[in-house]
Amino acid sequence: MKLYHGTNFSSAVNICLYGIDFGKSQKYLDFGAGFYTTPSYKHAAITAVRKTRTYNYFNKVNEEPYIVEISCNFATNNKWMKIKRFPVHNKDWSEFILNNRLYDTILKQYGLTNHNRYNNYDIVYGEIADGSIVNIAYKVNNGLLLPGDVDYRHLLKNESVYGYQYSFHTELSKTCIMDLKCDMIRNKQKYFVRNGGVK
């Protein structure tokens, strides 16, 4: 399987030369801290353009957006790995994503266990959530909404819009990766996002 990770030039080169560093992951992500990929080149390219613009702005540089192409074999060590799959978006998927974005104190206070905050799963596969989950997590984390009062219907779409992602969370998960290579995005203007759509 081919998967793609969109990022800026220096990060892409660093990944290809030295491998995936989980220590560089953000903490509150859809499936927990980890290395995120997608089978969609288009989605990875949009992510790369967005990340690179932010990186260039804060670091006063002018890097190009790059794609890291990952060749995977999920049969490798599969019997030893814990893989969580969400083939469709449903309440379980919504709850899992929300819980991954909640503070540890909230998870413990309400006994929430449907999450991957402590890397219980090596690999997680499922649909990419939209931005509304961030607002709900903010309300729960700040005591404006109780976890039991979340209406998950607001997070469930009638059809898949944002594509799918594979996230890697442990050293064992990296044994599925056969090859890493990176390349600059051609015609990057094609992947600039304007008003919720792709230019």
| 3-state secondary structure (DSSP) of residue 184 | strand
Residue 196 pLDDT: 43
**CB-neighbour burial class of residue 162 (10 A; exposed 0-12, middle 13-18, buried 19+):** middle
105 and 68 in contact (C-beta within 8 Å)?
A: no
- The radius of gyration of the chain from alpha carbons, rounded to an integer in Å, stands at 17
Residue 189 pLDDT: 66
**Closest to 153 (Cα-Cα) out of 94, 196, 112:** 94
Identify the helix (H) or strand (E) that includes residue 127. Answer: strand 123-127
Q: Which amino acid is at 26?
A: Q
Sheet holding 123-127, edge to edge: 35-37, 164-168, 123-127, 83-85
Separation CA 180–CA 67 (nearest Å): 10
Residue 139 pLDDT: 96
CB atoms within 10 A of CB 46: 22
Identify the helix (H) or strand (E) that includes residue 97. Answer: helix 91-100
pLDDT digits (tens, 9 = 90+) for 78-94: 778 999 999 988 999 99
pLDDT digits (tens, 9 = 90+) for 129-156: 888 889 999 999 999 999 999 988 777 7
Residues 6 or more apart in contact with residue 60 via CB below 8 angstroms: none
If you ran DSSP here, which 8-state letter would residue 38 be given? B
Residue 197 pLDDT: 43
Token pair listed for 140: 């729960």
Residue 19 pLDDT: 95
Q: Which stretches of the chain score pLDDT less than 50?
A: 194-199
Residues 6 or more apart in contact with residue 17 via CB below 8 angstroms: none
Residue 95 pLDDT: 95
